[in-house]
Amino acid sequence: MWASTSTSGCARATCFPATPSAIRPRRRPLFRAELSSSHKATQPKKVVVVGAGWAGLASAHHLINQGFDVTLLQAGSGPTEEVSLRGFWYPYRNIFSLVDGLGIKPFTKWIKASYFSPEGLEVNFPVFRDQPKLPAPLGALAYPQFPRLPLVDRLTSFPLIAAVIDFDNTDTAWRKYDTITARELFKQYGCSQRLYREVFEPAVQAGLFAPGEQSSAAVTLGMLYYYILSHQQNFDFVLCRGEVGVKIFTPWIDFLTSNGLKVCKNSVTTDLILSEDTGCISQVVCEGDVYEADAFVLALGISSLQSIILSSRVLQSHQEFLNVLKLSTSDVVYVKLWFDKKVKIPTAANVCCGIDESIAWTFYDLSSVYDEYKDQPNTILEVEFSCASDLLPLKDEQIVESAIAKLTKCMQEFEDAEVVQQKVVRCPKSATQFSPGTYKYMMRGATSFPNLFMAGDWIVNRHGSWSKEKAYVTGLEAANRVVDYLGEGEFAKIISVEEDEAHIEALRSLNRRANELFTQLPISEFFL
């Protein structure tokens, strides 16, 4: 939060009895303009949102617009972005709508990307929207340039389309493919070892922050379809022209606070208090400070939520929260480097793999992205290492040396460049690790507490989006659940993902019908 609860004057919510019932069926939205003057004069109901990332701010944004008294509890001293894919992809329709509504222009033009190995450039991705449109997924497979990968290896990707068609984002599909790893998936569908090593493995590692041997096939299929295979232009992305916290979150929070949002910084949630009379959550405890409200939204990453669960008997009494303790996270380390000279880097976003048996890592040419660096005579990069548990205990100088060594192996242009300034940021347990078998432990947006709702990029939902967009969408979904529970306000309008192309939908319909017929055969039980 922006002010300490003991000195800031942040108003604490007083408790209004919540309806002691299960979540009611969806109502027709109420338009606040139609409410009677006597209703408007009543004290607004209070909501506490825990977490100030994309999900928490999305919930707070909509609830403030609906006239609720909203308090946002923020663990740090300023806005922070969830660790996730750095780009803002073409299908992030809800985030782009938000940015337009705020009247800010934080993004670059559409960006090209490259994959590197110690042998040099492996894949060069164009701006797909500039290419003639082909039926999905042909454009995504045909337009990338592969300087070294033979055509025969690239053709082995086509059988994977059968799995893409079969994975339709239903609960059945998730449970089916969550039992195997991404590596097993590509092997079963005939992808060549070289294609997997030079293309799919880096994509999985960069997108899921873990190698294919540790990543769920279900999550892999969902990510690949959303970003690459569903529509040709979906892999196109922009980058923020500066720190996301400065360019987006700060003006966003300024807008919300000017409209009544109470933001309390350095408020680390440690427990929740249950009302025995209603069966609802009545208070959130933050290291001695207590916040009361009618409804609560937990918009947290897995490790933060696990910390609360471990200290809260209330949450430990419900199996859905105990299941969260079975989920895993990974460490991320960011290294920002200032070089003494300009280094020619063909693309702003780059994935590197096959170096020292480490998993893939990414680097971004901030000199061509950030407004503040574009006129400087030197090169500024940011290198991102995922699954970085081996790096965390090292000294900054050791981490920087490792980053420089890896950069030099990928691009020889760095051999003659000297680092004149550096910054290392450690983010322990900050990335969700979607291991096989974890789907059954992941939470839904509604909980067994009638007035407690969840949001975040790891929450199960059926929107189909990923990363920042998914976090934002689940924040709006949580806000809608609050509106429904409290019986006031309009529902947020959530922009759905673009519909499947006609031939993909036709193939999925045929596949569903074939699966239904197969389950009716007497022999089907031997294959399930």
Q: What is the pLDDT of residues 162-178, one digit of tens each?
A: 999 999 999 999 999 99
Minimal CA–CA distance to 182: which of 227, 221, 154?
221
Say if residues 390 and 97 touch (Cβ distance below 8 Å): no
Among 40-44, 70-74, 262-266, the minimum mean pLDDT is found in 40-44
pLDDT, mean over the chain: 89
pLDDT tens readout for residues 336-376: 999 999 999 999 999 998 877 678 899 999 999 999 998 89
pTM of the full structure: 0.90
Task: Considering only residues 523 and 197, tell me which one the structure prediction assigns the higher pLDDT.
Answer: 197
Q: What pLDDT is recorded for position 122?
A: 94
In this predicted structure, the answer to whether residue 254 has a pLDDT above a threshold of 60 is yes
What long-range pairs does 467-470 form, CB within 8 A, spacing at least 24?
467/84, 467/85, 468/54, 468/81, 468/82, 468/84, 468/85, 468/88, 468/92, 468/95, 469/89, 469/91, 469/92, 469/93, 469/94, 469/95
Cis preceding-peptide flag for 106 (omega within 30 of 0): no
Q: What pLDDT is recorded for position 282?
A: 98
In this predicted structure, the answer to whether residue 272 has a pLDDT above a threshold of 50 is yes
CA-CA distance, 70 to 11, in Å (whole number)? 10
In this predicted structure, the answer to whether residue 6 has a pLDDT above a threshold of 60 is no
Q: What pLDDT is recorded for position 14?
A: 35
CA-CA distance, 344 to 270, in Å (whole number)? 48
pLDDT tens readout for residues 327-337: 999 999 999 99
Q: What are the structural domains of the chain?
A: 46-82+243-327+438-486 (3.50.50.60), 84-242+328-436+497-519 (3.90.660.10)
Average pLDDT of the residues in 314-339:
96
pLDDT tens readout for residues 394-411: 999 999 999 999 999 888
Q: What pLDDT is recorded for position 317?
A: 96
In this predicted structure, the answer to whether residue 30 has a pLDDT above a threshold of 60 is no
- Strands 281-286, 328-339: pairing kind: unpaired
In this predicted structure, the answer to whether residue 81 has a pLDDT above a threshold of 80 is no
Phi, psi of 429, rounded to the nearest 5 degrees: 50, 40
DSSP line for 320-380: HHHHHTT-EEEEEEEEEEEESS----S-SEEEE-SSTTPPPEEEEEGGGT-GGGTT-SS-E
Task: Kindly give the residue spans of alpha helices, DSSP state H, lying in 110-179.
Answer: 138-142, 151-155, 160-166, 171-177
Q: What pLDDT is recorded for position 16?
A: 30
Minimal CA–CA distance to 309: which of 326, 290, 331?
326
Residue with tokens 């949580």: 478
Say if residues 445 and 477 touch (Cβ distance below 8 Å): yes
Model confidence at 493, pLDDT cuts 50, 70, 90, reads very high
Say if residues 497 and 463 touch (Cβ distance below 8 Å): yes
Minimal CA–CA distance to 482: which of 31, 54, 70?
70
Three-class SS state of 483? helix
Model confidence at 53, pLDDT cuts 50, 70, 90, reads very high
Q: What pLDDT is recorded for position 519?
A: 76
